[in-house]
Chain A
Amino acid sequence: GQQLNQSPQSMFIQEGEDVSMNCTSSSIFNTWLWYKQEPGEGPVLLIALYKAGELTSNGRLTAQFGITRKDSFLNISASIPSDVGIYFCAGPRGNSGTYKYIFGTGTRLKVLA
């Protein structure tokens, strides 16, 4: 079945550093989504990508849709303490049409002030 592998699983970084994480799929996706989940909250959508090669920014966050359509990358520039959380990638499942997703297991980010 489809799988999404995220790396790294967790990371500790110093405030002000840039962060990179990625997500790889066992199959081709036509959409990539990136979510952030803060402690005690539900996931919140950060960025949606719909086209291979697409690069989209949301403030200090930049995400890219890999040209192979099997991977995606999320970068955070100049990290701050409120960037703490779990970052999930997601993509559409198999032949589910346009509404069911598979989620990665997440990258847990901790920022040291």
Chain B
Amino acid sequence: DVKVTQSSRYLVKRTGEKVFLECVQDMDHENMFWYRQDPGLGLRLIYFSYDVKMKEKGDIPEGYSVSREKKERFSLILESASTNQTSMYLCASSTPGRGLVQPQHFGDGTRLSIL
């Protein structure tokens, strides 16, 4: 089974701090994604990466950056945390479809609170 591991289940940080959320997958997947999940808004894509050192902005990249130095690890960085970034953050990974859409596999999420 695919295993996507997020480093923290719960995290509390203060406004202005630089926050790192880590995600590791063990299936050699090329694609990795970061979403945030808020009530009534569903899953919104922040950033994704389709290869090491490659990244693209999603729908809501403002206030975030990412790093992918190794294939198995994808980090989400909140440059200067703000209270409106309090949310559930979900990491996912998938293989390239090669003509067939491949499902994404999710981690258990990090519930981040910014005080």
A residues whose Cβ falls under 8 Å from a Cβ of B: 30-31, 33, 35, 40-45, 48, 50, 88, 90, 92, 97-101, 103-106
Q: Could you list which residues of chain B lie within 8 angstroms of chain A, going by C-beta atoms?
A: 4, 9, 31, 33, 40-43, 45, 48, 50, 90, 92, 94, 96-109
A100 contact set on B, CB distance < 8 A: 33, 45, 48
Q: Are B103 and A99 in contact (CB under 8 A)?
A: no
Given A100-B48, A105-B41, A105-B42, A42-B101 contact (CB < 8 Å): no
Partner of B90 from the list A42, A92, A99 (CB cut-off 8 Å) is: A42
Which A residues touch B41, using CB under 8 A?
A: 105
Q: How far is the CA of A49 from the CA of B96 in the complex (A)?
A: 17
DSSP class of A's interface residues: helix, strand, loop or mixed? loop
On whether the beta carbons of B4 and A88 are closer than 8 Å, the reply is: no
Q: How far is B107's CA from A41's CA once the two chains are assembled, in angstroms?
A: 8
Quick one: closest A residue to B31, CB to CB?
A99
Least CB distance, B90 to chain A, in whole angstroms: 6
Chain B residue at minimum C-beta to C-beta distance from A97: B97
